[in-house]
Chains A and B, each alone.
Chain A
Amino acid sequence: MMFPLLAQEAAKAFALNSAGMTMMVVSITSVLILTFFCLYRVMTLPPVEIDDMHAPQNIDTGDTKDVY
């Protein structure tokens, strides 16, 4: 399939400018900081108390007893 393209010269007009760089860096950095902060907090939470542990110790799904 021939792809519909606009004039190749238009490609020059899209050089990443400082505003674009700023938006990209700020967006990606914000998401990365939030993601790593959350994952770090989750990974460093105190271990689950033994009576709160779910699987495989006390899981009883009931309706899946016939599962292989």
Chain B
Amino acid sequence: MKKLLILGAGTAGTMAANRLSRLLDASEWQITIVDQHETHYYQPGYLFIPFGVYGKNDVIKPKRDFMPNGVHLVMSAIEAIEAEQNRVRLANGQTLGYDFLIIATGADIYPKQTPGLGEDEWGKSIQTFYSFEGAVALHEHLKHWPGGRLVLNVVENPIKCPVAPLEFLMLADWFFSEKGMRDKVELIYATPLPGAFTKPKASKMLGHLLTEKGIQVVPEFMIERVDPEAKKIVAYDEQEVSYDLLVSVPLNMGAEVVGKAGLGDELNFVPVDKHTFLSTRFANVFALGDAAAVPASKAGSVAHFAVETFGENFVRYTEGQALKPVFDGHANCFIESGFGKGLLIDFNYDTEPLPGRYPMPGVGPFTLLEESEANHWGKLMFKWMYWHILLKGKELPLPAQMSMVGKWSK
């Protein structure tokens, strides 16, 4: 029996387990997946919790519900990855050997990495929606918040879902308008980026949208520390922004166990080939999803397209063939913009988000880089697709590689 070991039963790990259990011959392969938590979180849903659009139950389900028959699920923390010996030691005392290892341990927030951030005011005048607990706490906080300066700060890139901060601010604009208190709220976005988004065309388009909604962008703001008493954030270049409520996207890092194993970069993300996900150090180690250090968005749609291209490539590799450079960095993200509307962006490593229609050229129903009600419904529908199609590793009727059809390059 050949052994495939998957670390992490989050979005990427679960999708990989489902897809590979279908592609690999069960009489030859034993697939094991390890995770320390019983609950699967629908992370894209965190965005909606602070505004009461989603409740707790919209975003949690037991991980076991998504494991295919034949895949062995082990509930334990990971003690050490010993890649030289092809084995992983678990906190429950077990040691698991493998022929192939997939690291899908994701990314998490590290508020304590920024002085003043994760201290006494954390959960009070400093909040986050980048964790389940944070999103729920922020919902409680916003219920009775009297208004003032709401500053959203991204500590450092890369972060999970680079559009989520923009969506949060646009939803906040809508939320406070609905509450009849928009005039009492200032919305400010302090970002290390030179503009609203990472890619030029989308940055310009989204920048305009933020201006229309009265959201101020403070670009190139690299935070050094928070001064929780004076309620201000201070950048490395001495720039300061004061707040009444700081909504922080803290430093995102990969799992510490990855760093300890010497498999990570300076943020504990695993350096891999960006087209195949093969580790740059070990020929039988891969990293999928947020755990991988690839220049693609850390997002569920990227993980989905990645796993879809990875599956058959992996099977070919185990049969002694060379890996094909199949993954193109494809990302497809709905951007909620408030008032029942949304945008959609579709891009990859080489092509930035462009305007047009998706997935059917000229028809849509979704509009690329342009607000529409259809996109909003697409975003809400996505939750159903996530639980029922994506996690189970089923194919969408959409190509995994990005297509230029239906896009306007000028």
Asked if A and B are interacting partners, one says no
Write the residues of chain B forming the contact surface with A, with a CB cutoff of 8 angstroms. none
